[in-house]
Structure 1
């Protein structure tokens, strides 16, 4: 289907076409682990980890560790990653001898070696000493490589949000590479668009943020002097955010981008999550003419829109 055919439909038919042509996932192979980050984070600890290998298999590990940390306090900065956490300033819940609950803080970033016994007791109570003395079969560098890969998997949620931005960037690059009249930018503000292309886009000042809104993508047509503003997202599951984002982009189009001269707006969204929020999405279709999914982008609708082929 081309853009003209899509825009000639009534809103119900457009909505139905959008829903039935969605994709089930936006996860490329790079989604699961960012190996470059894993290796980079590992190198930060590698020297300390090789030194801490000294403790592996030690029988009197508490005393051996205490002596080692007193002589090299910075080794304590590596303890959090051995516990599979990014946090270095920890609040801890504990119980005293008669069972009363209390909390204490232990800081592995700003080391206070005068509190060495506090560090030793904490490490012991986590079970790390037992693990090092009885269960480690390989280098701690190899162990932390696995830990870092696991910690990186916790960042998948953030990567999932960025995936659609990367996919959009991929299509914009392909589109502009094949057409000398088109140029694109990602994470573009109204100010950046004005400076680069001398094209006016209404400034959207977001609450609690400095500067204007950053748009996921912007395409400029040198022949027509038009700008296409793109926002994109993907929802694998439901939640209140889907209703909120429908309202957000509807307001953005109705109050700012829609009335602006020489500005087009496209909202590119996708994912099975919209099955849980059909009503707010359909309401957005009443306001925003250019709501596309990834298949529609692949079919060339963004290029048709900025080239005026409708």
Structure 2
């Protein structure tokens, strides 16, 4: 790494070795904000799109002959067909079901649940009833296991949204870093762009950046009077073999960017790095600046960019 007196001033480290010890000892194990758990805005938007149809379907609860009642509803309100997949926690509207596999003779049947439909034929109604019957959804209606279909689906939407937590973890790292980057730039009249490719950097600032692949997008770019800082951020809460290759990728990217006289800063954090300290240290020693969030918050990022060190 490129050692500077600012490390002594800001984090009381007198050598590169001490800086790395500071980095590894100050890794944080969580950057989860309140919004990490459930994206309620997304959940409620999805729910409200189908709330009326769910309430229509809710009239089936506790009925004695749910098959016949369901057929009546499909005839009168064909639009309720589209909400059947979400009852099974599925975003898919087309299904190909294996109905017979005896003696290797695979037989399939297709079921479709389009979003918009004006009417259903008797055959389409029978197929819809068959689908909810065979998937046992109809049983939940008749025996009152489900007491409110809208509430049940709202719970499903919450469950499906938890699949996005991994992405929200990455977004949290970007959000935290952007707050700091935005403050630095506003205080010093620097320009910055987030999630930026080489074409936009040239279009906005006239600075040429050659990239190793056309899909390359940098998390942040900061322009200090023509000196370009490209910043990559990530967070690893868990370990794994991927971390070794990740560290290697940043050594390669550093060579590629620094050869063009631009600056690369890697901001990474997470207790996952405690399982891969050797490759992290190798990259730390190779590229100019590897920082974690505690180091960024100490003022190091601001000083590096302000003084072009």
TM-score above 0.5 = yes
CA distance in structure 2 between the partners assigned to 1:99 and 1:190 by the alignment: 54
Q: How does 1:79-98 map to 2 (within 5 A)?
A: 79-95=84-100
**Within the alignment, does 1:150 sit opposite 2:136 as a pair?**
no
Deviation, structure 1 residue 159 = 1.2
User: Does the residue aligned with 1:178 lie in a helix, a strand or coil?
Assistant: helix
Q: What is the aligned counterpart of 1:219 among 179, 198, 222?
A: 222
- The answer to whether residue 81 in structure 2 is matched with residue 72 in structure 1 is no
- Higher mean C-alpha displacement, 119-128 vs 182-191: 119-128
Counterpart position of 1:9: 15
Does 2:241 correspond to 1:240?
yes
* More moved, 277-286 vs 28-37: 277-286
- Are the aligned partners of 1:243 and 1:277 in contact in 2 as well (CA < 8 Å)? yes
8 Å Cα contact 2:55-2:149 kept in structure 1: yes
Offset, 1:214: 1.1
The residue number in structure 1 matching 2:64 is 59
Cα deviation for residue 271 of structure 1 reads 0.6
What is the number of residues matched between the two proteins?
Answer: 299
Segment of structure 1 superposing worse, 29-38 or 237-246: 237-246
The alpha-carbon distance between structure 1 residues 218 and 309, as it changes in their structure 2 partners (threshold 3 A), is closer
Match of 2:36 in 1: 31
How many Å apart are 1:266 and its aligned residue?
0.8
**Closer, same or farther: CA 90–9 of 1 in aligned 2, 3 Å:** farther
2:125 equivalent among 108, 112, 116: 116
Give the corresponding residue for 2:267.
268
Aligned to 2:199: 191
Higher mean C-alpha displacement, 80-89 vs 299-308: 80-89
Gap regions ≥5 residues in structure 1: 206-210
**CA deviation vs aligned residue, 1:178-225 (integer Å, no higher than 9, x gap):** 22x2121110111111221222322332xxxxx441111111113xx2
Q: Which runs of 4+ in 1 moved over 6 A?
A: 96-101
User: d(CA) in 2 for partners of 1:284 and 1:103?
Assistant: 53
Question: TM-score, normalized by length of structure 2?
Answer: 0.87
CA distance in 2, matches of 1:63, 1:183: 65
Query: Given the superposition, is the C-alpha separation of residues 123 and 144 from structure 1 closer, same or farther in structure 2, using an over 3 Å criterion?
Result: same
